[in-house]
Amino acid sequence: MSTFKAPKGTYDLLPPDSATYLAVREAISAPLRRAGYGYVETPGFEQVELFSRGVGESTDIVTKEMYTLTTRGGDQLALRPEGTASVLRAALEANLHKAGNLPVKLWYSGSYYRYERPQAGRYRHFSQVGAEAIGAEDPALDAELIILAVDAYTSLGLTNFRLLLNSLGDKECRPAYRAALQEFLRGLDLDEDTRRRIEINPLRVLDDKRESVQRQLVGAPMLRDHLCEACKEYHERVRELLTAAGVAFEDDEKLVRGLDYYTRTTFEFVHDGLGSQSAVGGGGRYDGLSEMIGGPALPSVGWALGVDRTVLALKAEGVELQLPAPTQVYAVPLGEEARRALFGVVTELRRAGVATDFAFGGKGLKNAMKSANRSGARFALVAGERDLAEGVVQLKDLESGEQRAVALDTVVGEVLSAQG
């Protein structure tokens, strides 16, 4: 056993569980790739200012949860706590928005870091798959991304997730609502941290999960009553497109999410089987973020879905993914000459697309066959000196127990045929 352990609030992904995480990432990204989203990868750390400007200096993510470090050169860096700001920064730096084909559609997958109190479904290191559509203001784009997320969850077999939907307005109508909300909140009995939030970002108070706060929010002014006509029309169009696509949603007038950059459409996917950490993903429109980080006006929309939370949702529903066996054929050589011959066959099988493993370490027949069974392989290839003298190997079906001799030079074709 190692002297060292994974840092508190983090985890290691190891077989066989890691196969489920890979399958979830693949399922989430597949609809995106079919919709024209290209893959982007960004550094695991960025300048602190990218997140303080974009995510918001008043957010818990920036004030309490961000891992920061100072380089030897004195630069202030932060481990990325979310993906949108990094992806938009990368797109702007590469001038993708100047290629003349907007929106720029990107998807990404990776690890993110927040200093939080560890609990089930909430880690200091977590995995997400995200998507961003940069440079277009179109309700159909908002609806597209939401539908792609729903399709991803559905393809995994999830059924007990819900979509919450809201509009946060824009720079035209939100200031009046902000003032009305601040006036209401100032009259409540709130702690000092929450009172400071009233002055910086009062919408975040609506997202406070504490019962003592939620009780006092009854009767608070709602954004829907302050939306300008343009935002009302935009939001209604998103709702119509989702309904036409057969996507069920719940209007949630208190949904604001935890990041400052959202405007207009905002949404969250929740799963009731996960307890307090019920959010499995979410996102929204962020039309002003590009200007916040020094870029041109680029209305955009995106989401991030938690891989960890999605895996927990699958477990909560008892959904077992149908994963391909990591090994289809297991080669068992008996003797040095057989090792050389079967090793060559293993290489051929792998090059033909067949997942094949080998009994390394000179195992005897009994131990080697135990390893073959533990590997989950469908077939075992067994060869000894007598087999090689006859130019054959023994192909054993580990499910039925049937065994037959096949010519050494036809093994690949026989295995492919036997697999159907």
pLDDT tens for each residue of 11-45: 899 998 999 999 999 999 999 999 999 999 999 99
The pLDDT tens digits for 346-360 are 999 999 999 999 999
- On whether 144 is known to bind a ligand per the annotation, the reply is no
Buried residues in 202-236 as b, exposed as e (16+ CB within 10 A): bbbbbebeeeebeebeeebbebeebbeeebeebbe
Question: Is it the case that residue 247 has pLDDT exceeding 60?
Answer: yes
- On whether 10 is known to bind a ligand per the annotation, the reply is no
Question: Is it the case that residue 150 has pLDDT exceeding 90?
Answer: yes
Domain with CATH 3.40.50.800 in the chain: 329-419
Instruction: Tell me what pLDDT residue 363 has.
Output: 82
3-state secondary structure of 76: strand
Strand order in the sheet with 279-285: 38-39, 104-113, 125-134, 300-306, 279-285, 263-271, 161-167, 250-251
- On whether 34 is known to bind a ligand per the annotation, the reply is no
Chain centre to alpha carbon of residue 65: 20
- What is the C-alpha to C-alpha distance for residues 244 and 229, in angstroms, rounded to an integer? 22
- On whether 286 is known to bind a ligand per the annotation, the reply is no
- On whether 262 is known to bind a ligand per the annotation, the reply is yes
Residues forming a β-bridge with 134: 104, 300
> Percent of the chain beyond pLDDT 70?
96
Neighbours of 201 (CB within 10 A): 17
- What is the C-alpha to C-alpha distance for residues 146 and 161, in angstroms, rounded to an integer? 13
Q: Predicted confidence band at 53 (pLDDT cuts at 50, 70, 90)?
A: confident
Options 3.50.50.60, 3.40.50.2300, 3.30.930.10, 3.40.50.300; CATH of 17-173+227-317: 3.30.930.10
Question: Is it the case that residue 61 has pLDDT exceeding 70?
Answer: no
- On whether 114 is known to bind a ligand per the annotation, the reply is yes
Provide the whole-model pTM: 0.89
- Decide yes or no: CATH 3.40.190.10 for domain 329-419: no
3-state secondary structure of 129: strand
Instruction: Tell me what pLDDT residue 219 has.
Output: 84
Q: What is the mean pLDDT of the chain?
A: 91
3-state secondary structure of 78: strand
Instruction: Tell me what pLDDT residue 240 has.
Output: 98
- Nearest Cα to Cα of residue 146 among 18, 16, 251, 249: 249
Q: Predicted confidence band at 273 (pLDDT cuts at 50, 70, 90)?
A: confident
Domain with CATH 3.30.930.10 in the chain: 17-173+227-317
Question: Is it the case that residue 206 has pLDDT exceeding 90?
Answer: no
- On whether 33 is known to bind a ligand per the annotation, the reply is no
Residue that has been written with the tokens 């840092």 in this structure = 7
Chain centre to alpha carbon of residue 151: 14
- On whether 257 is known to bind a ligand per the annotation, the reply is yes
- On whether 174 is known to bind a ligand per the annotation, the reply is no
Question: Is it the case that residue 257 has pLDDT exceeding 70?
Answer: no
Instruction: Tell me what pLDDT residue 63 has.
Output: 67
Phi-psi region of 157 (alpha: psi -120 to 50; beta: other; left: phi over 0): left
Q: What is the mean pLDDT of residues 113-128?
A: 86
Instruction: Tell me what pLDDT residue 14 has.
Output: 93
- What is the C-alpha to C-alpha distance for residues 8 and 213, in angstroms, rounded to an integer? 30
Phi-psi region of 286 (alpha: psi -120 to 50; beta: other; left: phi over 0): beta
Of residues 118 and 221, the one with the higher pLDDT is: 221
Q: Predicted confidence band at 258 (pLDDT cuts at 50, 70, 90)?
A: low
Chain centre to alpha carbon of residue 168: 24
Residues forming a β-bridge with 392: 407
Give the pairing type, strands 104-113 and 76-79: unpaired
- Torsions phi, psi for 100 (to 5 deg): 85, 10
Would you say 110 and 128 are in contact if contact means Cβ atoms under 8 Å apart? yes
Question: Is it the case that residue 223 has pLDDT exceeding 70?
Answer: yes
- Torsions phi, psi for 366 (to 5 deg): -65, -50
The pLDDT tens digits for 277-289 are 789 999 999 998 9
Query: Which residues, 6 or more positions from 269, have their beta carbon under 8 angstroms from its beta carbon?
Result: 149, 153, 161, 162, 163, 164, 279, 280, 281, 282, 305
Would you say 235 and 264 are in contact if contact means Cβ atoms under 8 Å apart? yes
Q: Predicted confidence band at 220 (pLDDT cuts at 50, 70, 90)?
A: confident
Helix, strand, coil shares of the chain as percentages rounded to 5? 40, 20, 40
